[in-house]
Structure 1
Amino acid sequence: MNLELLTCCLRCLNLRSLNSVGVSVDLQTSRRTSPFTIVPLLFSVLLLPMLLIMFQKLSETKHLSRLHHCLLAATLTFTGALVPNVAQAFTLNLLHFSDGESSLLNRTAPGTATTPSFDYSGVSLFANLIDRQRNASTTDFDLLVTAGDNFLAGPQFEASLRLPAGQQFYDAKALELFNIDVGGIGNHEFDFGPDVLARFIDPDGDGTGFRPFVSSNLLIPDSSPLKGLIQPSTIVTKVVNGVEEKIGVVGVTTPLLRSISSPGNIGTLGDLSTTPGFSVLVSTVQAEVDKLTAQGIDKVVLVSHLQDINEEKSLAGKLKDVDVIVAAGSDTRLANPDDPLLPLAGETAVPSYPLIYNAETGQQVSSLAALPAGVAPLVIVSTDGEYKYLGNLQLDFANGKISSILEPGSGPKRNATLDGLTGRPDLVNQVQNPVNTFVGDLRQTPVGVTNVPLNSVRTEVRAKSTLFGSLIADAIRDAAQDGAPAIGLDPAKILVGIQNGGGIRNDRRFAPGDTISEFDTFDVLPFSNFVSVVKDLTGGELLPILERAVSSQTAPGVGGGGQFLQLSGLEVVYDVTKAAQVVTAAGAITQDGARIISILLDPNNDRTGQFLYDVAQGGFLVDPNQALFDLATINFTANGGDNFATLAGISDSRKFTLGGVTYQSALEQYIREDLKGTVDATDIASGADIRVRDISALISDATGGEMIVGGDSAAVPEPTTMLGMLGASLGMGYLKRRQAKNKQK
């Protein structure tokens, strides 16, 4: 028979091998193939041999006319239309996680009346969980992705930072031993700057990452060490039933990157969904998806680290040809009622897993069956971070579109010994044991003892002035004064210190009498933030900085934004009922804010300083354009982190960073050396509830000798005269303070 025509016939049927039809395929697809697929498949299997025999006879008698050719071709074409593209019909076993954040070691949950003590989290248990889900799956294509925040500063990551150059970070080693297929990029990857992230991806420094990492909206300059290490997308290729199958994976990173991390000269495209710039983010992602579909890729997964699952929901209906979005950064614990969660306080589910959307309209639906005929779905999945859960989504695809969601395989899988998980030996030996030893050494190294209660609880340090927050701000100012001469600055002019609440972490509590270890200082101040100084800050710059600090407050002492400032050398009163400052993700102030009521410059934290601003007296009591003092802070905040637009706009020529002095080391040194290892109440004067407070707080007014009270009998000096008086007064206060410290030493 004519082999060329037979090949043509098979192509008409879109069959890439004879094994693509028949019993072998039926066994592979029987549990997920509908009768509407089986009927034409059987029809074609029976019809094809008959047609080929007829063709053979006609060829032998040489009576195959042009009409016969056409009829045969038409019949085969019709049959091919009935037969599904079997080579593309397969099940995806998507395993996903995000926000691991260097939670490399197991945690232990105490036993209760109903639940015994158990271990959870940690990478050695997580590796066992991944293996279990891979082995339990009968699906065709396993895909393991992480959607960003693959490490986080702190004691466990410090173990990696202290490794010799060229050695792989423990977090990277864990991902490699998990055998991830693709990694996404979040915001915490940039907390140490691009150089550390480049070392994470490429420990050998040869320009090749240990796995593909993707983000489509990062702007990476040619000079960056990350150039070539992060791609907009990648294609994962695996052989399924003897046929090569491909899935495209696109990445996207939060456009808030510059305001919440330290990306250096790396920028982002797009903005939040509440801004016009969101269309740029959508078009950027879509352009990368289009590149994949142009290469014949008909199944696409988006690993998205947008910090808020509502951002990923906003992508539904705006993106074409995306099948799954893995949402990250918000720790949204999607689950169904029958999905077992960790028996921990606050461990509640957000319905449901997955979220299903009409890909054309963006409307959420209850099930695939609720979609109009012919409309493709878009599904969104998300899990909690810190290696507490592994998401497992099992999807049937037909002709490149999701046709069903398989249960009970789909859902979040908890990472706990409760379910019989044990640490996988390679992760135990290569990651868990060395990190545990390093952290143990930190725990055994004391820094000091506190005689007052201290805490780093998120809901407090981001809402009001606290003892611990004030202590940290004092330590940063002290470190800046100590290091000022080395960078050519005058320590006597560094009168104020600020620390953003977002940089104080891990909800720690210390009772009077507790020892503070070196581990604790890392745990509370985990980021690679270096002490910095902003020179010659004016009143006109100070006011909008403070407006930004209280812009997230919703009630007295209630906030949540990382931009809330803990202060040293200032006392600020605000009114939460007034208009808050509004700043776009790009750092433009669109509403000035009117919450700040008064600002008292109080370098000794004893409430006897000088009012700089007072609404009752008409606003500024100094020239807002004249330099008042040098400001101590951390480089993250100095560069405009947390969307401090005013600080971002200050010239780099006025910003100085103390090399090698992190805010963690500043706190450690302040307690160990300046406070002689003991934290007393007198060391944190007016530290709790006073340095920043709502006007309704029942705190007496400051009564400093330099207070400008106004009135007919009060002479208000000219700004230059007043600043001279102020400088002399503050300089004397600074000298007295340093003399007292020298006596202690």
Structure 2
Amino acid sequence: MHGASPRPRSRRGLAALGIGAAFALVPALTPAAASPAAPAASAAPGDGRATPVQLLAVNDLHGNLDAVEGPAGSVTRTGSDGKPETVQAGGVPRLATLLDRSRADARAKSRATQSLTVAAGDMIGGSPLLSAAFHDEPTVEALETMGLDVSSVGNHEFDEGPDELLRMRRGGCHPKDGCAVEGKRYDGTSFPYLAANVHRKKDPADKPLLPPYWVKKLPNGERIGFIGLTTKDTPSAVSRSMTEDLSFEDEVRTIDRYAEALDRRGVKAVVTLLHEGGDRAGKEYDADCDAKGPASELTGRIKGIASKASPKVDLFVSGHSHEPYVCTVKDPAGQPRKVTQAASFGRTYTDLRLSLDREGEVVRRSVSARNHVVTRDTPAHPAVSRVVEKWRDRSAKLANEPVGHVAADIPGRGSDALETPLGDVLTDGQVEATRGAGADLALLNWGGMRADLVHKASGQEGDGVVTYGEAFQVQPFDNPLVTMTLTGEQLVQVLREQFSGENENSTYPQVLQLSDALRYEADLSRKGAARLLDGTVRVKGKPVDPNGKYRVTVNDFLAQGGNGFPTLREGTERVNSGRDLGAFVDYLKKNTSPTRPLARPEANRITFR
């Protein structure tokens, strides 16, 4: 992910850019910036001299250096027969190869092309064991080797709090676990992280936690500014304790502020890297978003932001919703601009191409974009592969430990259904692990499961074996479990909050996974809380008693009201009772064996009318 070929990992680290009046428009320390000026591009009609620029964009990698197995690692495309087909995709070494090819293609079309690689957040956090075992330092090294130029933060960059994010950027060994490699200090990212709308509550909004923008000076003297920010809803998307000292400002106001600041400094080409997204119609990754007119198929918060933010911004690279799209939205001046997102987990990347005119402004009609699948038949990039395999060797013993057996694929993150078979397994395991705290039932947010259990994904031990690394990939946060008492009325309210409050206008319903003791019916054709059908909630086969008391287990993130479930903060008689990963592993060890593998649950606890 970079403007030149993937380079050997550089651990020099870039000095943090100044804040406020001291903002520095610093040329990027990249091979492209240091090379002699390339020949000017031929003039485009009516544009005078034009400089071609390529942006290669990714988002939401979540430390998945390897391809994700199962439905969560697949992409839907149009097959040779014109019908949708599903293909497995991903793997950072393969992604690096395709980025190299895209750079070469752009240079073949014009030797003057300047190529930059950018990211829209959540590149780390929620990562598999290969990266998480070393606090995502392996992913940083892979991104550097692949050539990432700049990234915005996403909500998962805050999974371990702002101080850990600053350590990831600036360097230093982990304060509790020490150096990932004994005697070797981690020295930060060689690419800047941007956080324009994030600041500590004790600081003013114009003093963000990390630089709000970064400026790349091209060999011909043109400059491109990148404003980077995350969704203002980050506090509801990570554990409350990790962001309680931070403020997340409105995206449109933030973009307008720094677009104006860049304009005052003479930077006329502006790109926003925003960790906020949406969705579009069509299952295929490259479905035509604009088939019925500009932005006709784009939905979600990104559409409103892109239509309201300053016309000084020329295009948006987005993330967060994990949905691939290339859409057009009219800015407040009525001019079209592209809004793009790759998928997640390194399954696709976006190739954007544009021209800068002689004044350094983006020629809007020159902007084109296309998403590309990282297919499994792509050869691995040698340098990036060496990085990945080096770190794999360091965690292999723990990762390959068998912990259970499955009889078939058990979809979770990649399931098309709102209640998933893997969600049923995880919540049943949490109840079993917390019976000592009196648990009657368990609830799990969709984002609490990050992968699927795939029957043939297991390695050395043979098909159907679940390794510790695979279990970790499903529950990488290792969240504490909290068992609390809710009244029946509160329990019903929690179920209503799946469809109301913060979640009423969500792109997807925040349907909680639920253990075997709980049943209810829902009608998704209704609106808001009315989707939960009155009188249908049952616990252990009996109608819920509004005045009754029920012991409910959830992860710490939900217990703090995360994902728009404030009623869970009202739970009483709280007991910390283990961790979600441990509960999952113990459940597999106790309830499965080579002769008694876990069957795929029916996932029929919620009845949708």
TM-score normalized with structure 2 length: 0.71
Structure 1 Cα separation of the partners of residues 416 and 381 of structure 2: 38
For residue 160 of structure 1, what is the aligned residue in structure 2?
131
Structure 1 Cα separation of the partners of residues 247 and 538 of structure 2: 38
RCO higher in 1 or 2 (8 Å CA, sep ≥ 6)? Answer: 2
For residue 568 of structure 2, what is the aligned residue in structure 1?
647
- Answering whether residue 362 of structure 2 is matched by residue 402 of structure 1, we say yes
Does the 8 Å contact 2:411/2:420 carry over to 1?
no
1:442 to partner: Cα distance = 5.2
For residue 272 of structure 2, what is the aligned residue in structure 1?
302
**Aligned residue among 454, 470, 478 for 2:432:** 478
1:207-235 CA-to-partner distances (Å, cap 9, x unmatched) read: 96532111322243469xxx976222222
1:292-323 CA-to-partner distances (Å, cap 9, x unmatched) read: 21222211110012131533333344222101
Distance 1:563 1:90, change over 3 A: same
**Aligned residue among 545, 552, 555 for 1:634:** 555
For residue 93 of structure 1, what is the aligned residue in structure 2?
54
- Answering whether residue 340 of structure 2 is matched by residue 381 of structure 1, we say yes
For residue 470 of structure 2, what is the aligned residue in structure 1?
520
SS of the residue 2:311 aligns to: coil
For residue 236 of structure 2, what is the aligned residue in structure 1?
259
For residue 121 of structure 1, what is the aligned residue in structure 2?
90
Does the 8 Å contact 1:181/1:212 carry over to 2?
yes
Structure 1 Cα separation of the partners of residues 494 and 267 of structure 2: 48
Structure 2 Cα separation of the partners of residues 575 and 581 of structure 1: 11
- Answering whether residue 331 of structure 2 is matched by residue 359 of structure 1, we say yes
Distance 1:504 1:461, change over 3 A: farther
1:551 to partner: Cα distance = 6.6
Does the 8 Å contact 1:391/1:411 carry over to 2?
yes
Amino acid of the structure 1 residue aligned with 2:276: L
Structure 2 Cα separation of the partners of residues 147 and 252 of structure 1: 8
Q: How does 1:441-480 map to 2 (within 5 A)?
A: 441=397, 444-450=400-406, 455-458=410-413, 463-464=418-419, 466=421, 468-480=422-434
Structure 2 Cα separation of the partners of residues 146 and 123 of structure 1: 14
Distance 1:388 1:670, change over 3 A: closer
1:254-287 CA-to-partner distances (Å, cap 9, x unmatched) read: 23323333343255546xxxxxxxxx43122211
For residue 497 of structure 2, what is the aligned residue in structure 1?
548
1:459 to partner: Cα distance = 7.2
Amino acid of the structure 1 residue aligned with 2:511: Q
Structure 2 Cα separation of the partners of residues 294 and 101 of structure 1: 36
1:612 to partner: Cα distance = 3.1
Does the 8 Å contact 2:230/2:275 carry over to 1?
yes
Structure 2 Cα separation of the partners of residues 182 and 90 of structure 1: 21
Distance 1:119 1:476, change over 3 A: closer
Distance 1:321 1:656, change over 3 A: farther
SS of the residue 2:228 aligns to: strand
Distance 1:200 1:656, change over 3 A: farther
1:531 to partner: Cα distance = 1.4
**Aligned residue among 576, 582, 586 for 2:523:** 576
Q: How does 1:115-264 map to 2 (within 5 A)?
A: 121-135=90-104, 136-137=106-107, 138-139=111-112, 141-155=114-128, 158-163=129-134, 169-204=137-172, 209-221=189-201, 230-238=210-218, 240-241=219-220, 243=221, 245-262=222-239, 263-264=242-243
Amino acid of the structure 2 residue aligned with 1:518: Y
Q: How does 1:270-419 map to 2 (within 5 A)?
A: 280-308=250-278, 310=299, 311-318=301-308, 319-334=310-325, 355-362=327-334, 377-398=336-357, 399-403=359-363, 411-416=370-375
Distance 1:154 1:283, change over 3 A: closer
Does the 8 Å contact 1:216/1:252 carry over to 2?
yes
Q: How does 1:98-113 map to 2 (within 5 A)?
A: 98-105=59-66
1:445 to partner: Cα distance = 1.9
SS of the residue 1:595 aligns to: coil
Structure 1 Cα separation of the partners of residues 385 and 262 of structure 2: 38
1:32 to partner: Cα distance = 2.2
Q: How does 1:694-709 map to 2 (within 5 A)?
A: 694=608
Distance 1:411 1:449, change over 3 A: closer
Amino acid of the structure 2 residue aligned with 1:308: G
Does the 8 Å contact 1:219/1:268 carry over to 2?
yes
- Answering whether residue 550 of structure 2 is matched by residue 595 of structure 1, we say no
1:94-124 CA-to-partner distances (Å, cap 9, x unmatched) read: 2222222223135899xxx999xx9963222
Q: 5+ unaligned residues in a row in structure 2: which ranges?
A: 1-36, 82-86, 174-185, 280-298, 457-462, 502-506
Does the 8 Å contact 1:207/1:229 carry over to 2?
no
Structure 2 Cα separation of the partners of residues 106 and 453 of structure 1: 20
1:326 to partner: Cα distance = 0.9
SS of the residue 2:267 aligns to: coil
For residue 500 of structure 1, what is the aligned residue in structure 2?
445
Structure 2 Cα separation of the partners of residues 402 and 524 of structure 1: 42
1:526 to partner: Cα distance = 3.3
Amino acid of the structure 1 residue aligned with 2:560: N
Distance 1:437 1:106, change over 3 A: farther
TM-score normalized with structure 1 length: 0.59
Structure 2 Cα separation of the partners of residues 230 and 222 of structure 1: 15
SS of the residue 1:392 aligns to: strand
Aligned Cα root-mean-square deviation (Å): 4.1
1:593 to partner: Cα distance = 6.2
For residue 537 of structure 1, what is the aligned residue in structure 2?
486
Structure 2 Cα separation of the partners of residues 454 and 424 of structure 1: 30
Does the 8 Å contact 1:447/1:677 carry over to 2?
no
Distance 1:447 1:195, change over 3 A: farther
For residue 561 of structure 1, what is the aligned residue in structure 2?
509
Structure 2 Cα separation of the partners of residues 249 and 577 of structure 1: 40
Structure 2 Cα separation of the partners of residues 91 and 461 of structure 1: 40
1:32-67 CA-to-partner distances (Å, cap 9, x unmatched) read: 244784xxxxxxxxxxxxxxxxxxxxxxxxxxxxxx
1:325 to partner: Cα distance = 1.0
Structure 2 Cα separation of the partners of residues 381 and 298 of structure 1: 20
Amino acid of the structure 2 residue aligned with 1:455: I
1:336-368 CA-to-partner distances (Å, cap 9, x unmatched) read: xxxxxxxxxxxxxxxxx5x44543444xxxxxx
SS of the residue 1:455 aligns to: coil
Structure 2 Cα separation of the partners of residues 473 and 27 of structure 1: 58
Amino acid of the structure 2 residue aligned with 1:402: V
Structure 2 Cα separation of the partners of residues 125 and 143 of structure 1: 18
Distance 1:506 1:290, change over 3 A: same
Structure 2 Cα separation of the partners of residues 139 and 145 of structure 1: 19
- Answering whether residue 43 of structure 2 is matched by residue 32 of structure 1, we say yes
Does the 8 Å contact 1:537/1:631 carry over to 2?
yes
1:250 to partner: Cα distance = 0.7
Distance 1:192 1:561, change over 3 A: farther
Distance 1:480 1:221, change over 3 A: farther
For residue 667 of structure 1, what is the aligned residue in structure 2?
584
Amino acid of the structure 1 residue aligned with 2:521: Y
Structure 2 Cα separation of the partners of residues 210 and 533 of structure 1: 42
1:136-188 CA-to-partner distances (Å, cap 9, x unmatched) read: 42235432211112024343xx233333x8xx711111122233221112233
Amino acid of the structure 1 residue aligned with 2:347: K
1:192 to partner: Cα distance = 4.5
Does the 8 Å contact 1:446/1:516 carry over to 2?
yes
Does the 8 Å contact 2:67/2:346 carry over to 1?
no
Amino acid of the structure 1 residue aligned with 2:494: I
For residue 58 of structure 1, what is the aligned residue in structure 2?
none
SS of the residue 1:288 aligns to: helix
Q: 5+ unaligned residues in a row in structure 1: which ranges?
A: 1-25, 38-85, 271-279, 335-352, 363-375, 483-490, 553-558, 583-591, 614-619, 697-745
